[in-house]
Amino acid sequence: MSGVDRVWQAVRDQPARRLCRFGQRLWRQWRVTAFVILFIVVPVKSSLADWNWVPTGSMNPTILEGDLVYVDKVAYDLRFPLTLHRLARWSEPQRGGVVVCLSPDDGTRLIKRVIGGPGDTIELRNNVLLLNDRPLAYDKAAVDYAGRLPHDLADRCIVAMEDLGSMVHPVMSIPGIRAMRNFGPVTVPHGYYFVMGDNRDISRDSRFFGFVPRQAILGRARAVVLSFDITDHYQPRIGRFLSPLK
């Protein structure tokens, strides 16, 4: 190789050397961070605890658009990170619990309330739930739940307290919109659960996509960590910070 050829070869190799040196510096600076993310953060979020931003109003008035919800992923079992494989199980989702699950339709992560478990018969008549052929009790809400909602909903929604036996919680409907207010009856098969949103008129839930397999329930939603009103320029809802979910 002539002297000129060696010079041109050196010039061509310079970008590769610079890129290699840059990669080495980057690795030295970030290798600890990469280790923490890969071997600590990812397994913890996958198997122990996580958080979910809520973009829709299907759980109004319990959970609002813009809530950041803490999810207890060891509420029912322990899973191998990044899989649905269960390593241990100590309890089952209970009626009334707010859970994070995967939609049977497309695998989307959803936050819904457990309405019935294996063996329960579910029916909806004009937005009144019947559980095992008995209509649930409904009372007027003592708390101004409607005041939490955007003004266009607060002025026209109806909020009531629904008694699931193990849990009394708010539900709402919106008169005048097209909704599925009658459904069933259906009986929940073994290994499955029936889930619904507390905003009964706009929630896509088990009325539409069917029963949720037990293995698709990822954990229980325990609390609202942070909350920002995405319908009003992301104004913080300070009163909802660190508030428990029921």
Of the candidates 105, 51, 87, 66, the residue with the CA atom closest to the CA atom of residue 220: 51
Q: CA neighbours within 13 Å on the CB side: how many for 158?
A: 13
Taking every pair of Cα atoms in the chain, the longest distance, rounded to a whole number of angstroms, is: 94
Spacing of C-alpha 68 from chain mean position:
10
Cα→Cα distances 241→51, 53, 164, 224, Å: 14, 13, 26, 6
Are the C-beta atoms of 171 and 87 separated by less than 8 Å? no
Q: Which residues are catalytic?
A: 58, 112
Count other Cβ atoms within 10 Å, centred on residue 10: 10
